[in-house]
Amino acid sequence: MNTKYILLLLIIVGFTACNDPEDVLRDFNIEPDTTPELPALTTGSADFSKYVAVGASFTAGYTDGALFKASQENSFTNMLAKEFAKAGGGDYNQPLMNDNIGGLLFGGVPNPMFEPRLFFNGEGPVRLPATPTTEAFNTLSGPFQNIGVPGAKSFHMLFEGYGNPAGLVTSPATANPYFVRMASNPNASMIGDAIAQNPTFFTLSLMGGNDVIDYAFWGGDSSRAVTDSPTFDFAFTTAVNVLTSGGAKGVVTNVPYIEDLPHFTRVPHNPVPLDAGTAAVLNQAYAAYNGGIQQALAALSGLGLFTEEEALKRTINFAAGQNAVVIEDESLTDLGAINPAFAALPKYRQATAEDIIVLSASTFIGTEAIPGNPQTVNGLAIPLADRWVLTPEEQQEIKDATDAYNNTIEGIVASNDNLALVNLKDLLFKLSTTGLSSNNFTLTSDLVTGGAIGLDGIHLTARGYGLLANEFLKAIDAQFGSNFMESGNMINIGDYPTNYSPTLQ
């Protein structure tokens, strides 16, 4: 037997003398490994030994209208921390929720402002029928490297006392329950808790996002005003200066346009189908209103105080087929202020394609407030209040603020070598137009089916957060000379889900 093995070895040696090793392996039905050898991971000028993430809901991992344990574990910042750990990164602690239900208890009682997460029931997003178990007033033991606080605006990140439990019961509230759970002390600030850990690297995600989203989400409610540019500029500049004061490097993002999020594009302006009979009933109901508009036009047009164009815009008319909703528009002329005789005429008009109907309105538009009574159809007989609609004027206010914030962000990044920029505005635009491909998946911003945006129409899915994490790694490579991409240390977005089962609680 030894002689046989010697002869076989001599044959193989003979083959290798005349052929490439790969050819010899194939002759013996052995397929050679052709995977290219990747270089070792290098960090360039970045030091990941103490990574701290600061931001709002995206940083925290918020998705499907809530924050819950699985979403936090699938936050893009936790994904980054795992990659940084391969390059000397240290611990990354998160203030985890108690469950996968989402929502919060205030003194043991569910708070309706912080509801359980959404899930897809086969027809649309609905809230999980479960009771939260996470108590807002229970402060966890830190420090935490994920200082992501859903709802935080730019100036909140500097506010000392934003995590004070006493601020949850004031009116209006001066504290945020998510920061209450993680704050180092009642007088702490988000930026203060971050810099106290002496970070060597940081991410500052979507600072400025809530400064416009809060106003947009509530349909341009004036009580939730867009943050003015000087306030944002001061907050952003101060945050960056503090975070880089010890020599830390970091990555920031700009702010996307709301029109690239399905929460603001999903509901059409004319979502309600009517038959001819129902349309006639509704037209009769608005006959007195339309007549009042014509009377106001006759009385005021000669004075140049009320135009025929506006009168036509304010005239309500329905027909068989798809019909535009009726909305309150505060930008319309206050006819009662001109002439008390017209004080009873509200600021109503029908929506156009230029108006944005927010996603949350879809749950009741077209339903009857009194079942069986077509004169109580929500959105038609009963107009949509201002909080459900963004008019073109309100949209322009949001866009102007977003552009101003981004000019500040991009200018500061361009002047500071310790900063890299993730173009989140461009990322969301591509998701809403062409889609983006990664790891054989193509993601879009389509609600439910697109894979990138969660069921609330604003926040990313876990897979979407994986896509975002890769954008951070690319930016780090480009600015600081690391090689996450070249060494193959990127996020496989296919490892992360696009939705969570209702049984996950």
pLDDT band at 12 (very low <50, low <70, confident <90, very high): very low
pLDDT band at 36 (very low <50, low <70, confident <90, very high): confident
Q: Residue 494 and residue 210: Cα distance in Å, rounded?
A: 29
pLDDT attached to residue 222:
80
What mean pLDDT do residues 116-131 have?
95
Strand partners, 480: none
Instruction: Tell whether the model's pLDDT for residue 13 goes beyond 60.
Output: no
Q: Residue 398 and residue 208: Cα distance in Å, rounded?
A: 11
Instruction: Tell whether the model's pLDDT for residue 342 goes beyond 70.
Output: yes
Per-chain mean pLDDT for the chain: 93
Instruction: Tell whether the model's pLDDT for residue 183 goes beyond 70.
Output: yes
pLDDT attached to residue 17:
44
Please, are residues 223 and 377 in contact by the beta-carbon 8 Å criterion? no
Write down the domain spans for the chain: 1-33, 51-265+393-495, 272-350+356-390
* Residues 227, 409, 476, 429, Cα dihedral to 10°: 70
The per-residue pLDDT for range 386-397, each reduced to its tens digit, is: 999 999 999 999
Comparing 10-14, 136-140, 366-370, which segment has the lowest mean pLDDT?
A: 10-14
What mean pLDDT do residues 356-362 have?
95
Tokens of 215: 């106003």
Please, are residues 72 and 96 in contact by the beta-carbon 8 Å criterion? yes
Higher pLDDT, residue 1 or 333: 333
Amino acid in the structure at residue 437: S
Per-residue CA distances from 18 to 11, 25, 263 (Å)? 11, 13, 67
Out of 3.40.50.740, 3.40.50.1110, 3.20.20.70, 3.40.50.2300, the CATH code matching 51-265+393-495 is: 3.40.50.1110
| Element holding 106 (H helix, E strand) | strand 105-106
Q: Residue 119 and residue 29: Cα distance in Å, rounded?
A: 50
User: What is the percentage of the chain residues whose pLDDT exceeds 90?
Assistant: 90
Q: How does DSSP assign 322-382, residue by residue?
A: EEPPEEE-TTS--HHHH-GGGTT---EEE--TTSEE-GGGGGTTT-BSSTT-GGGBBTTTB
